[in-house]
Amino acid sequence: MDKKTIRFIVNPFSGVSNKQNINDLIKKSLDLTFYEYDLMYTEAPMHANEIAKQSVVENIDSVIAIGGDGTVNEVASPLLNTPVSLGIIPGGSGNGFAMHLGIGRNMKKAISHLNRAKETIIDTCKINDEFYLNLAGVGFDASVAYFTKQSSSRGFKVYFNSAMKEALKYENIKYRIKYDDVLVEDKFLSINVANASMFGYNFRIAPLANLHDGLLDVVMIKDASKARYITSVWRFLNSSLHKSPIVEIKRAKSLTIESDKPMHYHRDGEGAITTDKLAFSINPLSLRLLVPESYSL
């Protein structure tokens, strides 16, 4: 039987984990009677994307992203609608998408999961012409992502400090949200358009999100007092945010968000700012993904 080919794409700059011994971990944890692999390191932004494109040309069976959600995003987009499957080894800070899949945060265990992994096909998304896999949105979360990106450090402490600093000064802005034939105009703390459920660090923003349903979960956190937001934080940690009276969730295949003010937005953890209308859409069942054998739809 021919061995399956795997290419590991490592982002050595992501997260706080040391990836110097990653090749040793792979040799010890991967079933080399079944797989043959190579290992490539990224050297600059979007280098992972270029390596993934070349992997499709070379007919590699599976490409494994070792990094955070940003690295996963770069690796995944060239694999759309191809026979090449995506795998994930959590090597970033939050690792939201890996956590949603049940892969966890331990790199050694994640490599071992590959020996028993199963393949599934999932939905992917776009915000304007930009690909995303996990989450995108506007508002407070996006503002935190934007300012966290300015820091040369990574990790939960950096994210937490940015969130606390931003919470003291952040003011909700008014958005116009259009989905189906519905138009909503109101102030919101944030609007997240979810394919999967989790920001990272066990913060679950879209508890009901499903990667296979062909729909976006639009999670709108309404205008409220800061005290109300603080007393609702526990809901992010026990998957009950959808039960909060200050949260409204709608499902749609596409939607637009705009505002009269500049909008911070995020896409798989990367923060940016725009004055343009943002159009969100879903691409149903467009990516092959390796998941743990315990994963269920």
pLDDT digits over 64-120, tens only?
999 989 999 999 999 999 999 999 999 887 789 999 999 988 899 999 999 999 999
Q: Which residue is associated with the tokens 């939905």?
A: 123
The helix (run of H) or strand (run of E) holding residue 115 is none
Tens of pLDDT, residue by residue, the chain (297 residues)? 689 999 999 998 876 566 778 999 999 999 999 999 999 999 999 999 999 999 999 999 999 999 989 999 999 999 999 999 999 999 887 789 999 999 988 899 999 999 999 999 999 999 999 999 999 999 999 998 887 766 555 666 666 667 777 777 899 999 999 999 999 999 999 999 999 999 877 889 999 999 999 999 999 999 999 899 989 989 999 999 999 999 999 999 999 999 999 999 999 989 999 999 999 999 999 999 999 998 987
Residues with Cβ within 8 Å of 109's Cβ and at least 6 positions away in sequence, in order, are none
In DSSP terms, 186 is beta-bridged to: 175
pLDDT at 72: 95
Rounded CA gap, 101 and 118, in Å?
12
pLDDT at 157: 67
3-state secondary structure of 113: helix
pLDDT at 154: 61
User: Angle at CA 70, nearest 5°, toward 249 and 297?
Assistant: 50
How many CB atoms neighbour CB 110 within 10 A? 25
pLDDT at 88: 97
For 162: left if phi > 0, alpha if psi spans -120 to 50, otherwise beta; the answer is alpha
Rounded CA gap, 113 and 131, in Å?
26
**Best CA proximity match to 265, nearest among 63, 229, 67, 257:** 257
Is the separation of the CB atoms in 106 and 168 below 8 Å?
Answer: no
pLDDT at 16: 54
| Domain architecture of the chain: domains with CATH | 4-116 (3.40.50.10330), 130-283 (2.60.200.40)
In DSSP terms, 184 is beta-bridged to: 177
**Which tokens is 223 given?**
């205008």
pLDDT at 46: 93
pLDDT at 12: 87
pLDDT at 160: 67
Residues with Cβ within 8 Å of 167's Cβ and at least 6 positions away in sequence, in order, are 140, 226, 229
Q: How far is CA 245 from CA 224, 227, 229, in A?
A: 10, 14, 11
Q: pTM of the prediction?
A: 0.91
pLDDT at 195: 98
pLDDT at 34: 93
Q: What value does the CA radius of gyration of the chain take, rounded to a whole number of Å?
A: 19
Q: How far is CA 67 from CA 16, 45, 97, in A?
A: 10, 12, 11
Is the separation of the CB atoms in 14 and 154 below 8 Å?
Answer: yes
Is the separation of the CB atoms in 139 and 189 below 8 Å?
Answer: yes
**Which tokens is 123 given?**
């939905």
Residues with Cβ within 8 Å of 129's Cβ and at least 6 positions away in sequence, in order, are none
Is the separation of the CB atoms in 140 and 146 below 8 Å?
Answer: no
pLDDT at 54: 98
Rounded CA gap, 114 and 130, in Å?
29
